[in-house]
């Protein structure tokens, strides 16, 4: 990245975006009677006694349950239509009763028989939605290719707040170590082996997967190279607020090991470079670091200016997540990984989010967020 000033006029043009990322939901027969059935978004699908489900039980209606997937909310609405009860989430359903079926929960189509579960996946082409999840090898048999060039472009839509320098879209993306992000030779991306996606006990909903989608979106990308991508925080808590994300699938700091140290160092260097290249760097201070317990999946390094002048900064949690020890300095994280081979977070660190609001410049306590924001104006040059 040395010498690169991505927003300058000689940057490369942006090529057409790859296919937009789409989600797909599968109804999976837990006893393996048949292949997964695709549930399209907001489309009612009837499940019951049929050749497709291979259910021949006469107690099962041909229209036993109606399923409607909601890709935005990350669940499937189950409506019982048959006479005999279906069973979801430890509850027998009545006729016409509707319940939400979430990843990790089971649906028994009738009389606690014929178990199903659902699985949400993501892909960038229609083709990805036509067949169930494939292994990385199935998708990308020759997966040694890597992105080689750095292509950057300026597109400064908001000079005060952002340099939006989109990266030139590369047609082929890299396979990650564990196959989380894989791409075949015809320009489709599928999230496979989503270690923290649907079905996991710590799955919080589709919203928590948003960074994985954003980082793949050329319109969101501010910088990218073969190891990392930078995007603007969608809800910036300061005038400048970027996220540096590795292509490699790392859900959070908990999975980081010594092997990842060079990656963390690279993320830090890219973050520092963003700061150096920022036109307001003379007047603004920046911090680089990680949230101890991030809400969003996929590890991300915050690069944030210390003005905290943003309408998106609204809550005590927002403030304290950047202004207490909940914010782990990138340099401290790297040291920890170097010395201990992993990152450890103190017990009870989430309690820091509830601390009284304190100005990060003069340490004066403020009683409310509006007061704090008013106070912060004093420190703005």
Q: Give the shortest CB-213-to-DNA separation in angstroms.
A: 13
Helix (H) or strand (E) holding 101: strand 98-101
Q: What angle do CA 174, 179, 184 make, to 5 degrees?
A: 55
The binding track of 321-360 with respect to DNA, each residue x by CB under 7 A or -, is x--------------------------------x--x---
Q: Give the shortest CB-198-to-DNA separation in angstroms.
A: 14
How many Cα atoms occupy the beta-carbon half-sphere of 296 within 13 Å? 20
Q: Give the shortest CB-9-to-DNA separation in angstroms.
A: 33
Percentage helix, strand, coil, to 5, in the chain? 20, 25, 55
The binding track of 65-84 with respect to DNA, each residue x by CB under 7 A or -, is -------xx-----------
Q: Judged by CB, which is closer to DNA: 296, or 337?
A: 296
> What is the spatial distance between Cα 102 and Cα 80, in angstroms, rounded to a whole number?
16
Binding to DNA by residue 316, rule CB under 7 A?
A: yes
Q: What is the 3-state secondary structure (H, E, C) of 29-47?
A: ECCCCCCCEEECECCEEEE
Kindly report each contact of residues 306-310 with a partner whose C-beta sits within 8 Å and lies 24 or more positions away, as own/partner.
306/238, 306/360, 307/238, 307/239, 307/376, 307/380, 308/237, 308/238, 308/360, 308/376, 309/238, 309/239, 309/376, 309/377, 309/380, 310/236, 310/237, 310/238, 310/239, 310/241
Q: What tokens were used for 349?
A: 């660190």
Q: Judged by CB, which is closer to DNA: 171, or 329?
A: 329
| 260, 270 contact by CB (below 8 A) | no
Q: Judged by CB, which is closer to DNA: 195, or 371?
A: 371
CB-based contacts of 186, cutoff 8 Å, min separation 6: 127
**Of residues 2, 344, 367, 381, which one binds DNA by CB under 7 A?**
367
Q: Give the shortest CB-293-to-DNA separation in angstroms.
A: 8
Of 202-210, 221-229, 256-264, 340-348, which segment contacts DNA by CB under 7 A?
202-210
Binding to DNA by residue 104, rule CB under 7 A?
A: no
List the catalytic residue out of 300, 318, 360, 379: 300
**Of residues 149, 283, 315, 365, which one binds DNA by CB under 7 A?**
315
Binding to DNA by residue 254, rule CB under 7 A?
A: no
Q: Give the shortest CB-32-to-DNA separation in angstroms.
A: 31
- Where would I find the beta strands (DSSP E) of 162-305? 181-183, 189-191, 221-224, 228-232, 241-246, 286-291, 301-305
Instruction: Specify the DSSP class assigned to residue 50.
Output: B
Binding to DNA by residue 41, rule CB under 7 A?
A: no
Cα dihedral sign, 212-217-220-225: positive
**Residue 260 annotated to the active site:** no
Q: Give the shortest CB-375-to-DNA separation in angstroms.
A: 12
**Of residues 34, 227, 314, 375, which one binds DNA by CB under 7 A?**
314
> What is the spatial distance between Cα 381 and Cα 379, in angstroms, rounded to a whole number?
6
H helix and E strand count, the chain: 6, 20
Q: Give the shortest CB-196-to-DNA separation in angstroms.
A: 14
Binding to DNA by residue 365, rule CB under 7 A?
A: no
Q: Give the shortest CB-207-to-DNA separation in angstroms.
A: 4
**Of residues 79, 205, 342, 345, which one binds DNA by CB under 7 A?**
205
**Of residues 77, 261, 278, 369, which one binds DNA by CB under 7 A?**
369
Q: Judged by CB, which is closer to DNA: 102, or 173?
A: 102
b/e sequence 330-348, b meaning 16+ C-beta within 10 Å: beebbebbeeeeebebeee
Binding to DNA by residue 368, rule CB under 7 A?
A: yes
Binding to DNA by residue 199, rule CB under 7 A?
A: no
The binding track of 256-295 with respect to DNA, each residue x by CB under 7 A or -, is -----------------------------------x--xx
Phi, psi of 55 (to 5 degrees): -90, 125
Binding to DNA by residue 35, rule CB under 7 A?
A: no
Q: Which residues are catalytic?
A: 300
The site for DNA (CB under 7 A) is made up of: 72-73, 204-205, 207-208, 234-235, 291, 294-296, 312, 314-318, 321, 354, 357, 367-371
């Amino acid at each position: 990245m040395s010498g690169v000033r991505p927003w300058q006029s000689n940057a490369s043009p942006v090529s057409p975006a790859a296919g937009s990322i789409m989600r797909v939901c599968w109804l999976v027969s837990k006893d393996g009677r048949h292949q997964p059935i695709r549930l399209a978004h907001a489309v009612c699908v009837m499940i019951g006694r049929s050749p497709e489900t291979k259910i021949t039980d006469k107690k099962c209606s041909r229209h036993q349950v109606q399923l409607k997937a909601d890709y935005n909310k990350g669940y499937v609405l189950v409506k019982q239509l048959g006479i005999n009860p279906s069973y979801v989430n430890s509850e027998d359903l009545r006729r016409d009763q509707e319940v939400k079926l979430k990843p990790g929960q089971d649906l028994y189509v009738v009389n606690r028989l014929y178990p199903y579960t659902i699985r949400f996946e993501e892909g960038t082409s229609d083709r990805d939605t036509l067949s169930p999840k494939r292994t990385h090898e199935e998708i990308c048999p020759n997966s040694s290719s890597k992105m080689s060039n750095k292509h950057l472009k300026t597109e400064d839509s908001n000079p005060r707040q952002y340099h939006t320098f989109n990266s030139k879209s590369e047609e082929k993306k890299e396979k990650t170590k564990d196959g989380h992000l894989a791409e075949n030779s015809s320009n489709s991306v599928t999230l496979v082996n989503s270690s923290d996606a649907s079905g996991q006990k710590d799955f919080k909903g589709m919203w928590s997967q948003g960074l994985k989608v954003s980082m793949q979106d050329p319109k969101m990308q501010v910088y990218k190279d073969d190891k990392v991508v930078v995007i603007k925080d969608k809800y910036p808590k300061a005038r400048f607020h970027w996220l540096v994300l590795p292509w490699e699938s790392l859900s959070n700091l908990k999975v980081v090991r010594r092997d990842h140290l060079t990656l963390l160092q690279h993320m830090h260097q890219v973050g520092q470079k963003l700061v150096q290249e920022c036109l307001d760097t003379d007047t603004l201070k920046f911090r680089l670091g990680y949230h101890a317990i991030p809400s969003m999946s996929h590890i991300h390094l915050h690069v944030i200016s210390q003005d905290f002048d943003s309408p998106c900064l609204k809550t005590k949690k927002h403030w304290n997540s950047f202004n207490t020890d909940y914010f782990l300095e990138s340099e401290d994280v790297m040291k920890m990984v170097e010395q201990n081979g992993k990152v450890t977070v103190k017990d009870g660190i989430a309690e820091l989010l509830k601390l009284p609001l304190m100005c990060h410049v003069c340490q004066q306590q403020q009683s409310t967020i509006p007061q704090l924001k008013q106070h912060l104006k004093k420190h703005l040059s």
